[in-house]
Amino acid sequence: MTTRDPPVLTITQATNAIKHCIESSFPLIWLQGEISNFKMQSSGHLYFSLKDAKAQISAVMFRGDASSLKQIPKDGDNVIVRGEINVYPATGKYQILIRELRPVGLGELLQKLEELKIKLLKRGWFRPEHKKPIPKLPKIIGVVTSPTGAVIQDILNVLSRRFPGFRVIINPVKVQGEGAAQEIALAINQFNEHNLVDVMIIGRGGGSIEDLWAFNEEIVAEAIFNSRIPIISAVGHETDHCIADYVADIRAPTPSAAAEIVIAEKAQLLKHLKQSQSRIEQALLNLVRQDRHRLQGIKKQPLLLSPYALLGPSMQRLDDIRSDLDQIITQSIMKRRLTIDGRQRNLQSLKPTTQIAHFRQKLSYWDKSIRAAMLSKTTLLKKNLPEKAETLASAFRAKQDNRGRLLDELGKRKQLDQNENRFLKLRKERLESISAILHSIDPKNVLKKGYCILFSEKDNSVITSIQAVEMQQDIRLVLSNGELLSTIKEIIPK
């Protein structure tokens, strides 16, 4: 390789380089698209694709982020997602690691709200210098809300308990639905036009962002900003925020808190607020300063933007391994079942009853073979006996001639008969001995002597010890001419 040749990278090195480049370039993006190929793993992780008319991208939402969803999405849903672009090294494909998912309708409202915030912020409507002070112990209090809701009751209850003799003017309006924003703005303008009250409370109870949307309209924000009368905004619960809260002179977390602010002692309230403001501002400045430095350091580490940047590939790999492991376990179980079936067949062949039948066949074969051999031997001997007798007779006659007829013919015949009888007797005794041996080893003859074989009726095994039986157990006795079924009544050890 020359010095001019480009460096050769491994697949892993190239993938990691691409991963670092893509993830550092897209640390956080918003996407809108349609869900397809949706799949929820048993681990709780969500896998799907986001597509539009011309392209698509793979998407992953891990269990930690998916647990915050109010409803699991499905194929065909049009959603807006927030997340980071991520590369999965195992397959080399890029994907979006989703941190937040919401339907398109809600996303449009939030986008519209954010655009209005920016617009009014540029106008300066949120600046502190435009906030008007709340008068000390106002004589007349104006309330812009629904006359039938719980808000007006909460306000009246607090005022009655803390400030007897107060005067309240209620300008009833709709607080949600079509035309609600126009009615709220008109009520604020009417209070200012006739200078009817010293301080004004506008608000409603909690609800969704759609329910609170009337207080996010620009017409309401304009009426609050142009009001000469100080306004306290008490919309929703403490965690709810709307445009009216930012433009109003004071935001109260609840309608009851708004009533308490109206009737609080001015000097004590201002002193406490200034002290609290000073402490909070100082604490916030310190926290912001510290967090700003910390955030700058974190921004330089793309992998630390999300725990899933490090854990995501491992979690996906774990899902792949789980699928492979399920397949391996299934194959192993099938292989072990085949092994067990083979061993069961071998075990069946080793059962005592099978062995006894096999031995019986061998004994029968040996008996037939021995009998055939003995018969063949005896036949051969009988066949050769006359020839040998003739040979002996010729030999005796020759010897008798050579000795000069020392013995008479009768003596020779008698001697020959004796020798023949002795030979036949020996052969007969040998044959009887072999027959007795075969007869003694025949299992049927053993049974005829009064013996029997015991089998367990439950598993058909041979019983060789009293430890192998139990009381009331059924057994089978095999005799020479049949079988008997019996039950154990008593066990007497030796």
CA end-to-end distance (rounded Å), the chain: 92
What three-state secondary structure class fits 70?
coil
pLDDT tens per residue, the chain (494 residues)? Answer: 555 667 787 777 777 777 777 766 677 788 888 888 999 998 889 999 998 888 899 999 998 888 888 788 888 888 888 888 888 877 778 888 898 888 775 556 667 778 888 888 888 888 888 889 888 778 889 999 988 888 888 888 888 776 666 788 999 999 888 889 999 999 999 999 999 899 999 988 877 777 788 898 899 999 999 999 999 998 877 777 788 889 999 998 888 888 888 876 544 655 677 888 888 888 888 888 888 888 777 667 666 666 666 677 788 888 888 888 888 998 999 988 888 888 887 777 666 777 677 777 887 888 788 888 888 878 877 777 777 777 877 776 777 676 655 555 566 667 777 777 787 788 788 777 777 776 666 666 666 777 788 888 777 777 778 787 888 888 888 887 888 888 888 888 87
Helix 218-226 crosses helix 104-123 at what angle (to 10 degrees)?
Answer: 30
- Domain assignments of the chain as residue spans, ordered by start: 11-104, 124-264, 352-441, 453-487
Report residue 488 CA to chain centroid gap.
Answer: 54
Query: Where is 237: in which H helix or E strand?
Result: none
Check residue 266 and give its pLDDT: 45
pLDDT of residue 409: 57
The pLDDT assigned to 156 comes to 85
DSSP 381-444: HHHHHHHHHHHHHHHHHHHHHHTTS-S-HHHHHHHHHHHHHHHHHHHHHHHHHHHHHHHHH-HH
Q: What are the C-alpha distances in Å from 447 to residues 22, 292, 441, 452?
A: 92, 103, 11, 6
- Three-state SS at 115: helix
Structural element, H or E, at residue 451: none
In angstroms, the CA 365 to CA 414 distance is 44
pLDDT of residue 118: 87
Q: What is the pLDDT of residue 182?
A: 93
Q: Are 412 and 396 in contact (CB under 8 A)?
A: yes
Burial bucket for residue 254 (CB in 10 Å: 0-12, 13-18, 19+): buried
pTM (2 d.p.): 0.38
Class of domain 11-104: mainly beta
pLDDT in the model for residue 267: 43
* φ, ψ (nearest 5 deg) of residue 365: -65, -45
Give the pLDDT of residue 23. 65
What CATH class is the domain 124-264? alpha beta
Sheet holding 140-145, edge to edge: 167-172, 140-145, 199-204, 231-235, 250-251
In whole angstroms, give the CA distance from residue 224 to residue 251: 12
Distance CA 313, CA 12 (A): 14
